[in-house]
Amino acid sequence: MALGFMAWSCTAPEPEAEATPPVLEDGAYSLTHATWTYADTVVEFEPQQIKIYADGRYMFATWNSTTNSPAMGAGAAWSENGMMYEQPYHNANGATDSSQTFELGITATEGGFEQTIAGMDDNDSSSFDLYENWLALEGEATPYDGLWVLTSRNEIEGINDFQEIKMIGGGHFVWYHTWSDTVDHADFGYGQFIDNGDGTATEVAQAGSIEGYEGEWSINYTLIGSDMLQQSYINNTDSTEVFQNYKRL
């Protein structure tokens, strides 16, 4: 799914206790092309977007040129009867109705996969069929892979109600956060994730909505058990150290 729509749902089977073979391998993927086919027109898109699957979770993020704001989705993913199902936990508006489920047709390609969804509902109540082509990105699994939600962060003057969702997998990362000062803000970013093997990682930011964000960032990572994660880094605007704590979703 892409470009901030989360309006279509279907009735789908719940994940069974006995795992079925996945229709798509865990990893990071880049969207190369999307087509929305309406009854009377076809709309083509080539957005800059990443999507990560890891350990039964997914997350995507991109820039929505229609709303002039980031779009994202994150939640559970599983295979059933040759189809993939996604149950969103969060989108750009916050936590979602967990009963909503999307059914995806997945076809493996030499370089990645094709994704189809029939009967999507657009914001103006029109309907279209969705087609997307995704390219697999190179990268290795790390101990930090998974979908994470921020639980706490050291206070920074002027920044209020900071919330973040982040995913790591397939040698890449993606995040989406919101915060406020005198107005509300929403940002996203993604790129390559390099585990240095010594409790640090290099995040090579390749795209994002914050000016000056792209480039290399050195991040300290500490796993606390299997379901808690702490990261810290130096804020390049004022040289303060930022600590952020996450729990696994």
Q: How far is CA 191 from CA 88, 91, 187, 242, in A?
A: 22, 20, 14, 20
| Model pLDDT, residue 236 | 75
Of 93-97, 236-240, 241-245, the range with the lowest mean pLDDT is 236-240
Quick one: average pLDDT of 120-142? Answer: 89
What does DSSP assign to residue 111?
A: S
Q: Are 172 and 26 in contact (CB under 8 A)?
A: no
CA distance 139 to 137: 6
Total domain count, the chain: 2
Q: Which of 136, 157, 176 is the last residue of a domain?
A: 136
Which of the listed residues 136, 160, 176 is the one where a domain comes to its end?
Answer: 136
pLDDT digits (tens, 9 = 90+) for 167-219: 999 999 999 999 999 999 999 999 999 999 999 999 999 999 999 999 999 99
Residue 67 in domain: yes
Asked, for residue 18, whether it belongs to a domain, the answer is: no
Q: Are residues 117 and 63 in the same domain?
A: yes
Q: Is the pLDDT of residue 25 over 70?
A: yes
Residue 212 lies in a domain: yes
For residue 127, the cross-strand partners are 121
Any domain includes 179: yes
What percent of the chain has a predicted confidence (pLDDT) above 90?
Answer: 71
Q: How confident is the model at residue 22 (pLDDT cuts 50, 70, 90)?
A: confident
Looking at the fold, whether 128 and 198 belong to one and the same domain comes out as: no
Its pTM stands at 0.88
What CATH number has the domain bearing residue 109? 2.40.128.490
Asked if residue 216 and residue 172 are part of one domain, the reply reads yes
Domain range for residue 238? 146-248
Is 95 part of any domain? yes
